[in-house]
């Protein structure tokens, strides 16, 4: 019996997203982090220079499409936990924030290797092209809906 691969669509994309996010949220919970906190902390850690709260909110909103007030609350939580620190008008990750993100990465690396391992490079490239196009089109539709 030959199995036909499912055609990529919104449902398949959603199922993959929520399966992967469920795994990540399980790991994050062990570290006392929420998904949004991890995204915000990662944005601060990987920035080329310290970011203002507005810069981080704009970047995170662009990725998650979350309410800017909720993102600001997340930044406040990271500040309260001393994972981010105010440096004048900017926020910078603390050593504890960087170490926590490194620890999360170490915990997720073997899981990611099992999930992504063995997928042919050409399949990953094709999926990457399709997902980039879907993201671009969905972002354009969201702009059209909100302007």
27-107 placed in CATH 1.10.10.10: yes
Query: Domain boundaries in the chain?
Result: 27-107
Residue 141, CB half-sphere, CA atoms under 13 Å: how many? 6
Closest among 139, 101, 115 to 17, alpha carbons compared: 115
In tens digits, the chain (147 residues) has pLDDT values of: 566 888 889 999 999 999 999 999 999 999 999 999 999 999 999 999 999 999 999 999 999 999 999 999 999 999 999 999 999 999 999 999 999 999 999 999 999 999 999 999 999 999 999 999 999 999 999 999 998
- Cβ–Cβ < 8 Å for 112, 124: no
List, in sequence order, every beta strand (DSSP E) within the chain. 84-87, 90-93
What DSSP letter does each residue of 32-63 carry, written as one string?
T--HHHHHHHHHHHH-SS-B-HHHHHHHHHHH
Q: Give the Cβ contact number of residue 115 at 10 Å.
A: 14
Question: What pTM was computed for the model?
Answer: 0.89
């Amino acid at each position: 019996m030959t199995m036909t691969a499912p055609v990529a669509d919104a449902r398949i994309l959603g199922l993959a997203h929520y399966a992967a996010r469920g795994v990540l949220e399980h790991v994050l919970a062990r570290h006392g982090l929420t998904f949004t906190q991890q995204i915000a902390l990662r944005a601060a850690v990987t920035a080329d220079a310290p970011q203002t709260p507005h810069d981080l909110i704009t970047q995170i909103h662009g990725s998650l499409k979350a309410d800017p007030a909720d993102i600001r609350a997340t930044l406040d939580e990271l500040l309260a936990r001393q994972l981010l620190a105010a440096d004048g008008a900017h926020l910078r990750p603390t050593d504890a924030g960087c170490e926590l993100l490194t620890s999360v990465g170490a915990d997720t690396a073997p899981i990611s290797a099992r999930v992504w391992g063995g997928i042919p490079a050409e399949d990953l490239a094709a999926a990457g092209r399709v997902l980039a196009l879907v993201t671009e089109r969905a972002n354009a539709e969201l702009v059209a809906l909100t302007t």
